[in-house]
A and B are shown apart, each in its own frame.
Chain A
Amino acid sequence: MSLAIGIVGCGAVSRIYYAGALAALAREDPEVQVSALFDPQESALHPMAALFPKATAHRTWDSFRAATPDLAIVASPPACHAQQAVELLEAGAAVLCEKPLASSLAEAEAIVAAAERPGAVLAVGMVRRYLPAAKAIRWLLRSGALGALQRIRWLEGGRFRWPVESLDYFRPEVGGVLSDIGVHVLDLLQWWLGPLALESYADDRAGGIEANCLIRLRHGDDAEIAVRLTRDDDPPTLCRIDCERGTILWREGHPTDIEVLPGRMNDKDASLLSLMTAAQAEVGSFERSFVAQLQDLIAARRRGGQAPVTARSALAAVALIDACHAARRSLPMPWLTPEEDEAYAQLAGSGPEAAP
């Protein structure tokens, strides 16, 4: 059955990841074709039109929507997601909505409501759930092979190198490192562990958007989780998960490799660990994960079922981000002089998401 795909937003994520994934899909499944592209910016639309010459390029939203693709990838700025995703779902298209699902919890809930109507199919681009390493960690934590979770320390990020077109990308409404990387981290944590409670949140905004932040969470009564995100330096990134009987190390967000430092394990646990090790042998890459999530959505569209990453399951990360904004404090910067620190405190309070 042929499947016409439309791409909404032809910026960097479409060009760098979805174009390659769609080309790979088309090779595997000739029935899948990119038929329509939309971007109001000619400079973004043109390179994608060159990659997909059979697709019709649309500069206006109305003309794109009238083209009614079977499946649409919404990769526009987050502030546009709610309106575009809802309209596409209402028009009967299956939708893959890039992360973050929306720029506010209210908008995300509007998408969830539209996605839960009968016949609607929507997936959220939480692509890291498709990484074999992330799947293996979920399996390990849920199997109980390492015993109860004690704590997680997660340092994630790096110097910002995403090829943005202009400084408009850094507008407050687009958000900083919390919305950008944080949504992936918070999504994975809750996918692994279930609902988490926010203990505190701090970032370095001083009138603009955050480049660094620290999130403290709690799982159950005992396990504490600290997540440190950055986009201004290249520290050695690591997710360290300490459990009662062992520790999981996930370095540099590697697609397949994790390290497990077992403590006391019984035979049953050890066999689970060997199963997990076999899972790590799965071929995986960040790019391949984009193909996999599209394949899942196409299958859901064809069989009339739900996509694995539903809007509701992705809502939890958006809700936590909203909670972070509400609980915001400023992140201490210990190299500032007392005079500078005082000014920073004043500017930090004037940020767009200042604590109430």
Chain B
Amino acid sequence: MTKIAVLGANGFIGLRLVESLLLRAVAEVCPVVRAPSSFAPLSRFALEGRVADARDLEALRIAFRGCDVVVHAAAGDRSLVVDSIEPVVRAASDAGVGRLVYLSSLAVHGYDPAPDSNEDSPLARKQEIDYCNWKVDAEARLAALHRRGGPEMVVLRPGIVLGPRAQWVRDFAAALAQGRAYVIGDAAGLCPSIYVDNLVGAIEQAAFRAGVDGETFIVGDRERVTWKDVYAPIVEAMGRNWSQDLHHVPATPQPPTARRLFEAVRRSTFVQATRRRLPPRLRSAAFAAIDRLRDESEPLSPFAATAAPTVRATREMTLLQSCRHKLSHDKATRLLGYSPQVSFEEGMARTLAWLAFAGYLPMDAATWPEAERRG
């Protein structure tokens, strides 16, 4: 049986991938996590886990040993997104891995892509949101390494991944419970959704399909849906009212040029590298002053970390909810045999069932799972 290493197995995509591959006996699964504590949600299965930071070449070599396929699903900050690429590719190569499946993002096209964008469209490096640039850099590094040889590589570009534990769902539900949830206007922007099981299906195809080495695929749900289509069922399940219990806020405009320039300098590789080289005390003093100047209302990318919703729209959510075009996954259909098996409606139903399972629905309206089903 094919042995698949899942790097970032404790993330919500990784968890569902491990669970699904294992339960359907599609492959032997080897979950790889960054810290031992991250293995907790995976420990309900009798799995041989491995511990490796996605930037640690030696640890990755050991973690990938004996594996035929590696799925890189690790998420994090810029350092993890970009700097993990080379060690992962080299470790996979050294371990004799046959194929690497990399989970990139539709964000490489920007949050409001041009209508005719596809896998061949040139990618812009200077996008407003950092996360988009990190993923562009990561793909570029991957392509450069692929040209030098090593394992086969397939890149997937999912959009907003929904399902159990998805931060888009969980954070919105938590914010709603605390009266902090918001939408831009009436949330009429398009959500480039993909239910996590559809992504798992794409990963499986990318792992096993012949003749797709070096290819990149946009993947998504079949349906064209808005953010309201995503959020409204959650609002209803939580017993809230769409008009009254949500903050309907205006889009946050692009910051002025001076602010953008300042942010670009502050986040530049040179400044960040200098920051790391300074003695701790000097670093704290010098950069505390600089950091006070930045716009603290803009949280980290929700792709990279759990965002803290506020009643003022972040620029990132403004851009996400301003999306006007759904990109086609025709190429994935043709070459990868990709076919989303779970409808958006069914995906949302399963997602809501998870919200109830996990305890996000109010206790008064509790639909706590029944304990007894089978022995």
Contacts and interface: CB of A to CB of B under 8 A. Distances in A.
Given A214-B368, A340-B20, A344-B23, A333 B357 contact: yes
A202 B36 contact: no
B350 A335 contact: yes
A233 to B, nearest CB: 5
A238 interface: yes
A201 B369 CA distance: 12
A72 interface: no
A214 B369 contact: yes
Interface residues of A, number: 57
A61 interface: no
A238 B375 CA distance: 29
B360 interface: yes
Contacts of A237: 359
B292 interface: no
Contacts of A232: 15, 40-41, 165
B44 A161 contact: no
B23 A202 contact: no
B43 interface: yes
Nearest to A162: B37
A355 interface: yes
A246 interface: no
A285 B291 CA distance: 32
Contact of B360 (A166, A235, A340, A347): A235
Contacts of A228: 359, 368
A206 interface: yes
Contacts of A349: 375
Interface in B15-42: 15, 19-20, 22-25, 35-42
A345 interface: yes
A165 B36 contact: yes
A153 B43 contact: no
A16 interface: no
Nearest to B163: A335
Contact of A235 (B35, B47, B49, B359): B359
Given A162-B37, A233-B170, A167 B49 contact: yes
A346 to B, nearest CB: 9
B359 A332 contact: no
A329 B351 CA distance: 23
A236 interface: yes
Contact of B371 (A207, A214, A343): A214
B153 to A, nearest CB: 28
B15 to A, nearest CB: 8
Contacts of B374: 329-330, 345
A70 B353 CA distance: 54
Contacts, number: 139
Contacts of B363: 153, 155, 238, 240
Contact of B351 (A160, A209, A335): A335
B356 to A, nearest CB: 8
B350 A334 contact: yes
B372 A208 contact: no
Interface in A211-234: 211-212, 214, 216, 226, 228, 230-234
A2 interface: no
A184 interface: no
B350 A211 contact: no
B174 interface: yes
Interface string B158-198: 00000111000010001001000000000000000000010
Contact of A210 (B15, B44, B163): B44
A334 B40 contact: no
B51 interface: yes
A231 B41 contact: yes
Given A209-B43, A233-B165, A340-B19, A334 B357 contact: yes
A202 B43 contact: no
Contacts of A344: 23
B46 A208 contact: yes
A334 B45 contact: no
**Best-surrounded residue of A201, A209, A214, A233 (most CB of chain B within 10 A):** A233
Given A169-B36, A235-B360, A238-B363, 19 more contacts: A153-B366, A153-B368, A160-B41, A167-B51, A201-B371, A209-B44, A214-B368, A214-B371, A228-B368, A331-B371, A332-B370, A333-B357, A334-B357, A334-B369, A335-B353, A335-B354, A339-B23, A339-B24, A340-B23
Interface of B: 15, 19-20, 22-25, 35-47, 49, 51, 163-165, 170, 174, 177, 197, 350-351, 353-354, 356-360, 363, 366, 368-375
30 contacts: A160-B40, A160-B41, A164-B37, A167-B36, A169-B36, A170-B39, A176-B44, A202-B371, A202-B373, A205-B44, A206-B46, A207-B44, A207-B45, A208-B44, A210-B44, A211-B41, A211-B44, A226-B368, A230-B358, A231-B40, A233-B358, A236-B359, A329-B374, A330-B373, A335-B164, A335-B353, A339-B23, A343-B25, A347-B23, A347-B46
Interface of A: 153, 155, 159-167, 169-170, 176, 200-202, 204-212, 214, 216, 226, 228, 230-238, 240, 329-337, 339-340, 343-345, 347, 349, 355
